[in-house]
């Protein structure tokens, strides 16, 4: 009797041992060397190039976040130093500094251009720095923040502004310690004639220090 | 506590005199506290098997004259068995007190119990469980006092027991530890509540039999026993809801075999579909979901042995409120100032990004043998959990998941139980688990958590002493877990790591019956959990939280991964003391539970500083450890005012604190109060009832919430080159807790019995007054109101 019971038990045990073994064959183990992802969305560097329309020396300022979402702060390599009463075309470039410059995905500017229909740059600057545009720009803190126009030189397929290239004329002043802020918004399906900097998700939001010298 | 039960059987015999096989036997099954037990299995041997209805009633027709044995079984209760003679005349009342009998069989089929007698537990079953049909598991459990939920929008609910959730709650699905991606507060348990005939919540930390993680408690989801008698039965549930225009359909067919004695089977499936939910004022865009689940079970049970096979699949796609998709603190501020949320559009069933696609597959094989040396149980479980999370990304990346995880879990359990004497029984076992977590390549993001393999083993012993008025349980357990980890840091450089954790836990429970004055149960238990890799390594911006979080093992200066021995890590351990006093009189039932949970080395996200990225300024949080306390009380009371009329009340109070830093913790459920009144009318004696219930829920404001530091305060401080968290690591919230609210709900039920089937209709209106409110423990409270009025019509046909 006892023998029979044990036999039955052995059968159960055998079944229960074989099944897990069969299943472990289906299972892929933990890779010691998992695949490295490309990370095309990570922007760690923003480069502003101010080119005088009438010719002259180009002003380049780069802001770099050395560790992406890591704890280290973003650092700009200097203030934006412009000359008084000069018209500049500002072009903005975006990079993923965690990649080598030769890698695909290092320069992200073209991606923004391709998806211009759902992206827009917005700007805010100290008053009395530029003669055009006037005001303080089009970044809103809340729906009632007053805004002023920006001279966008590029547009998307719907003829709405993009902002990778914009035009700025400095006033006839000498100022220091002013601010210049750029915000890139991702507005999939919500970019419209009335959308503002309050709409969509933020891809870039950096404030630079701005100086204007006497020529 | 529910140690003393009365199964009272009201037996009415009828039938025309003289005819041989036309007798009837009917009765009612209740607990000692006069709670009607629905879904209990009633067996008449030889002959028939049935289950009790909503009102705890059963009936057998066309019975022949003679002697029978009646056996009543219900998971969580002592089986009742008695000889009866048909025809039965007059009214019989049988009173049983469970703990005075010797056995404490919980799961009849394998004679092992899932719940100890000295546990502080609450069972959700019968009509109370039926009321929750159409809801997810986490939402359904809110019916139990002391249980609340942490929520992400209208469709993602995670159970919270006494203030703890996720990695600190153990869920047993059909006897198997549920292993999904529990670490995420927005990852709901992947369980179809329709498989359950009852759900037990153990409020103790004593999951001695099931291993680590039960710091807050245990949720036990039990399907009904498989039928063993010949015949086919089943049920169909259909639920329609106005809010979300949701439809739920669930079906179950089960049967036994005449040829193969003891063989039973069950096929079950559920489909759910919902579009966008809506608040009283606006649509909650992209909050729809679809769900498709099925399960198959078969088993054969002989007197001395048995084997069961269970296969299930849970599959869902869940939309996340589109307006909660933000990527900087300023976006969060804009979202908090905006109502309705951005991206709000008219109702649709379409689910877009952000969304989750989740599947959970389970295979379980269980065998048991009874021998002279005791009862043995062996159980193997295989779980395959896959989770994909899609964010709003650039067009070219929108179809790629941002998180794509496969989790494979094998569990193997062996258990032995022996009654060495009338007074003493022993239970011992071993548990093994192998788990593999893989990031599926192709997300084009640095993985939020690394790949890992873990190997765990545990060993336990539980002894039970039965001294008539006293019941004493004691147990001890040791667990060991080894991790091998491979991931990528912030710079996309790979790292690997390997280490082990081990710890012992114990539990001691005692229960004393004071005659008619009630039962007192006390349980003191320790438990622990190994840290999850998300707490050690997670790195990145948390979806919709506008915060960057860093794992415990990340160096804050360099972002590099540290050795675990260099960070002074200690295992998180809980010591939980729970006391329950239960009084059960014929018209009045009350249950009061008081608890104290002291958690050593509680792992939480501490605000650590502010960092500027290309996307702007962010507060960042770091996983760190502190000592935390959770002190609270749950109260339940029910009074039969008149024959057909009962009033009931539930209260859940909780105070949680960070002891080390003398601070409040975030997302602690506020105090809850509920009052209900129910009226039941029997329309026809042969099985037609009407019921009406009204209940009101008052949820207080969380007055013990962390300080508020608004987005503007963070930005202003940063602009002045100050870091608001550098010298003040107290917890904070971006906004104050939402105010208290009151909800009124109504329900009407109609039940009609046909020959061999039964029809239940239920009309239920929640948030009847269509109040606009926000829930503190809903992670969407920054963005939108809760759902408005919802009217649900449900139909259940049992056959």
pTM of the model: 0.84
Contact B394 A111 (CB under 8 A): yes
pLDDT value at residue A70: 78
Backbone angles phi, psi at A58, to 5 degrees: -85, 140
CB proximity B331 to A under 8 Å: yes
Whole-angstrom distance, CA of residue B678 vs CA of residue B144? 17
pLDDT value at residue B602: 97
CATH code: domain of residue A107: 2.60.40
Whole-angstrom distance, CA of residue B556 vs CA of residue B606? 13
Q: Which helix (H) or strand (E) holds B536?
A: helix B533-537
Q: Which of A70, A181, A186 to mutate to test the interface with B (most CBs of B within 10 A)?
A: A70
Any domain includes A172: yes
pLDDT value at residue B420: 85
By 3-state DSSP, what share of chain A in percent is helix, strand and coil, each rounded to 5?
15, 35, 50
End-to-end CA distance of chain A: 109
Q: What is the mean pLDDT of chain B?
A: 87
Nearest-by-Cβ selection for B380 from A19, A35, A45: A19
Q: Which of B3-12, B371-380, B636-645, B694-703 has the lowest mean pLDDT?
A: B3-12
pLDDT value at residue B34: 60
How confident is the model over B655-692, as pLDDT tens digits? 999 999 999 999 999 999 999 999 999 888 877 889 99
Structure tokens given for A59: 């002003």
Contact B412 A13 (CB under 8 A): no
Contacts of B491 in chain A (CB under 8 A): 67-68, 98
pLDDT value at residue B105: 29
pLDDT at B797 over 70: yes
- Check if the beta carbon of residue A200 is closer than 8 Å to that of residue A190: yes
Contacts of B307 in chain A (CB under 8 A): 12, 15
CB proximity B372 to A under 8 Å: yes
pLDDT value at residue B112: 60
Q: Tell me the mean pLDDT in the region B491-500.
A: 89
pLDDT value at residue B422: 80
CB proximity B614 to A under 8 Å: yes
Contacts of A5 in chain B (CB under 8 A): 304-305, 369, 371-372
pLDDT value at residue B117: 62
Q: Which own/partner contact pairs does A137-146 have at CB distance under 8 Å and 24+ positions apart?
A: A137/A181, A138/A196, A138/A197, A139/A181, A139/A183, A139/A197, A140/A196, A140/A197, A140/A198, A142/A198, A142/B337, A143/A198
Q: What is the ipTM of this complex?
A: 0.80
pLDDT value at residue B440: 94
Any domain includes A202: yes
Any domain includes A146: yes
pLDDT at B6 over 60: no
Instruction: For residue B461, name the pLDDT band (cuts at 50, 70, 90).
Output: very high
Any domain includes A10: no
Q: Which CATH class is domain B12-100?
A: mainly beta
Contact B615 A204 (CB under 8 A): yes
Q: Å from A154 to nearest chain B CA?
A: 20
Instruction: For residue B113, name the pLDDT band (cuts at 50, 70, 90).
Output: low
CB proximity A18 to B under 8 Å: no
Contact A41 B488 (CB under 8 A): no
Bridge partners of B414, per DSSP, are B378, B430
- More reliable by pLDDT, B366 or B41: B366
Any domain includes A58: yes
Domain count, chain A: 1
Decide yes or no: CATH 2.40.170.20 for domain B221-798.
yes
Contacts of A7 in chain B (CB under 8 A): none
Q: Which of B613, B616, B721 to mutate to test the interface with A (most CBs of A within 10 A)?
A: B613
Q: Tell me the mean pLDDT in the region A59-80.
A: 89
pLDDT value at residue B583: 87
The torsion region of residue B442 among left (phi > 0), alpha (psi -120 to 50) and beta comes to: left
**Residue A137's domain spans which residues?**
45-213
Is the omega angle on the peptide bond into residue B228 within 30 degrees of 0, that is, cis?
A: no
Instruction: For residue B1, name the pLDDT band (cuts at 50, 70, 90).
Output: very low
CB proximity A157 to B under 8 Å: no
* Residue appearing with tokens 């390599």: A77
Regarding beta strands B572-584 and B424-439, do their DSSP bridges make them parallel or antiparallel, or are they unpaired?
unpaired
- Check if the beta carbon of residue B651 is closer than 8 Å to that of residue B674: yes
Any domain includes A88: yes
Q: Side-chain half-sphere of B531: how many Cα atoms within 13 Å? A: 25
Q: Å from B57 to nearest chain A CA?
A: 38
CB proximity B307 to A under 8 Å: yes
pLDDT at A16 over 80: no
CB proximity B783 to A under 8 Å: no
Q: A104-113, B90-99, B487-496, B703-712: which has the highest mean pLDDT?
A: B703-712
Contact A33 B451 (CB under 8 A): no
- Check if the beta carbon of residue B528 is closer than 8 Å to that of residue B214: no
Tell me the residues of chain B between 349 and 368 that have a Cβ less than 8 Å away from chain A.
Answer: 363, 365, 367-368
- Domain spans of chain B, in order of start: 12-100, 221-798
Backbone angles phi, psi at A38, to 5 degrees: -75, 145
């Amino acid at each position: 009797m006892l023998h029979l019971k044990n036999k039955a038990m052995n059968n159960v045990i055998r079944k229960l041992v074989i099944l897990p073994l069969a299943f472990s064959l289906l299972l892929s183990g933990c890779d010691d060397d998992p695949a490295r992802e490309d990370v095309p969305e990570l922007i760690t560097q923003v480069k502003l190039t101010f080119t005088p329309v009438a010719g002259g020396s180009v002003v380049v300022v780069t802001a770099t976040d050395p560790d992406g979402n890591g704890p280290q702060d973003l650092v700009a390599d200097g203030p934006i130093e412009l000359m008084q009463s000069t018209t500049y075309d500002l072009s903005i470039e975006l990079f993923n500094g965690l990649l080598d410059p030769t890698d695909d995905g290092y320069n992200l500017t073209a991606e923004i251009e391709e998806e211009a229909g759902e992206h827009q740059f917005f700007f805010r600057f100290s008053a009395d720095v530029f003669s055009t545009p006037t005001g303080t720009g089009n970044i809103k803190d809340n729906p009632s923040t007053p805004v002023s126009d920006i001279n966008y030189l590029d547009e998307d397929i719907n003829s709405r502004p993009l902002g990778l290239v914009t035009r700025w004329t400095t006033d006839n002043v000498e100022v220091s310690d002013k601010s210049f802020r750029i915000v890139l918004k991702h507005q999939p399906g919500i970019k419209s004639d009335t959308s503002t900097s309050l709409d969509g998700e933020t891809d870039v939001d950096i404030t630079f220090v701005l100086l204007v010298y006497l020529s | 506590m529910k140690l003393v039960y009365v199964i009272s059987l009201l037996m009415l015999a009828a039938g025309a005199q003289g005819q041989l096989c036309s007798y009837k036997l009917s009765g009612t099954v209740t607990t000692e506290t006069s709670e009607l037990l629905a879904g209990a299995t009633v067996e008449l041997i030889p002959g028939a098997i049935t289950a009790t209805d909503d009102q705890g009633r059963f009936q057998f027709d066309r019975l022949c004259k003679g002697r029978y044995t009646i056996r009543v079984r219900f998971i969580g209760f002592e089986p009742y068995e008695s000889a009866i003679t048909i025809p039965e005349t007059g009214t019989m009342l049988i009173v049983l007190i469970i703990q005075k009998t010797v056995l404490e069989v919980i799961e009849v089929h394998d004679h092992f119990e899932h719940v100890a007698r000295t546990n502080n537990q609450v069972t959700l079953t019968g009509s109370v469980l039926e009321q929750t049909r159409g809801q997810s598991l986490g939402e359904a459990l809110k019916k139990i006092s002391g249980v609340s939920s942490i929520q992400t929008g209208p469709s993602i609910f995670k159970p919270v027991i006494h203030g703890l959730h996720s990695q600190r709650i153990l869920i047993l699905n059909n006897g198997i530890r549920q292993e999904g991606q529990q670490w995420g507060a927005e990852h709901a348990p992947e369980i179809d509540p329709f498989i359950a005939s009852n759900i037990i919540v153990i409020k103790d930390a004593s999951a001695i039999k099931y291993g680590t993680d039960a710091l807050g408690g245990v949720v036990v989801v039990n399907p009904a026993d498989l039928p063993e008698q010949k015949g086919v039965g089943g049920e169909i549930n259909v639920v329609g809801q106005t809010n979300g225009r949701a439809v739920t359909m669930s079906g179950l067919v089960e049967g036994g075999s005449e040829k193969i004695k003891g063989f039973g089977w069950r096929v079950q499936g559920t489909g759910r579909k919902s579009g966008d939910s809506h608040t009283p004022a606006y649509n909650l865009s992209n909050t729809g979901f679809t769900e498709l689940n099925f399960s198959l079970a078969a088993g054969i049970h002989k007197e001395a042995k048995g084997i069961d096979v269970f296969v299930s699949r849970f599959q869902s796609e869940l939309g996340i409120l589109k307006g909660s998709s933000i990527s900087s603190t300023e976006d969060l501020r804009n979202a908090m100032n905006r109502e309705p949320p951005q991206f709000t559009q008219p109702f649709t069933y379409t689910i877009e990004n952000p969304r989750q696609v989740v599947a959970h597959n389970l295979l379980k094989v269980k065998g048991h043998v009874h021998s002279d040396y005791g009862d043995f149980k062996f159980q193997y479980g295989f779980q395959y959990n896959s989770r994909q999370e899609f964010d709003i990304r650039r067009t070219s990346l929108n179809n790629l998941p941002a998180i794509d995880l496969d989790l494979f879990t094998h569990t193997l359990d062996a258990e032995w139980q022996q009654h060495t004497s009338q007074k003493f029984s022993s239970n011992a076992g071993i548990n093994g688990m192998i788990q593999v977590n893989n990031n599926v390549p192709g997300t084009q993001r640095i993985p939020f958590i690394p790949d890992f393999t873990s190997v765990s083993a545990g060993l336990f012993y539980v002894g039970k002493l039965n001294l008539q008025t006293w019941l004493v349980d004691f147990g001890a357990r040791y667990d060991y877990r080894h991790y091998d980890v491979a991931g990528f840091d912030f710079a996309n450089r790979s790292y690997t790591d390997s280490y082990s954790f081990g710890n012992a836990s114990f539990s001691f429970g005692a229960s004393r019956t004071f005659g008619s004055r009630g039962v007192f149960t006390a349980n003191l238990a320790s438990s622990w959990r190994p840290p999850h890799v998300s707490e050690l390594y997670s790195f990145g911006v948390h979806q919709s939280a506008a915060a960057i979080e860093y794992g415990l093992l990340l160096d804050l200066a360099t972002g590099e991964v540290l050795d675990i021995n260099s960070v002074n890590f200690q295992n998180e351990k809980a010591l939980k003391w729970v006391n329950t006093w239960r009084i059960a009189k014929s018209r009045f039932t009350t249950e009061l539970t008081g608890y104290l949970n002291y958690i050593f080395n509680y792992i939480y996200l501490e605000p650590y500083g502010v960092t500027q990225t290309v996307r702007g300024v962010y507060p960042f949080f770091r996983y760190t450890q502190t000592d935390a306390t959770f002190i609270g009380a749950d109260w339940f009371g029910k009074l039969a005012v008149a024959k057909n009329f009962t009033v009931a009340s539930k209260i859940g109070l909780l105070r949680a604190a960070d002891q080390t830093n003398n601070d409040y913790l975030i997302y602690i459920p506020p105090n809850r109060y509920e009052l209900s009144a129910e009226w039941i009318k029997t329309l026809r004696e042969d099985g037609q009832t009407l019921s009406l219930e009204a209940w009101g829920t008052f949820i207080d404001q969380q007055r013990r919430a962390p300080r508020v530091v608004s987005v503007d305060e963070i930005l202003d401080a940063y602009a002045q080159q100050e870091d608001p968290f550098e010298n003040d690591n107290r917890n904070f919230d971006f906004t104050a807790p939402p105010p208290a609210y009151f909800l009124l709900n109504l329900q009407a039920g109609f039940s009609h019995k046909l020959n061999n089937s039964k029809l239940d209709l239920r009309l239920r209106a929640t948030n009847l007054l269509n109040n606009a409110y926000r829930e503190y423990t809903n992670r969407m409270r920054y963005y939108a109101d809760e759902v408005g009025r919802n009217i649900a019509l449900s139909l259940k046909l049992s056959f």
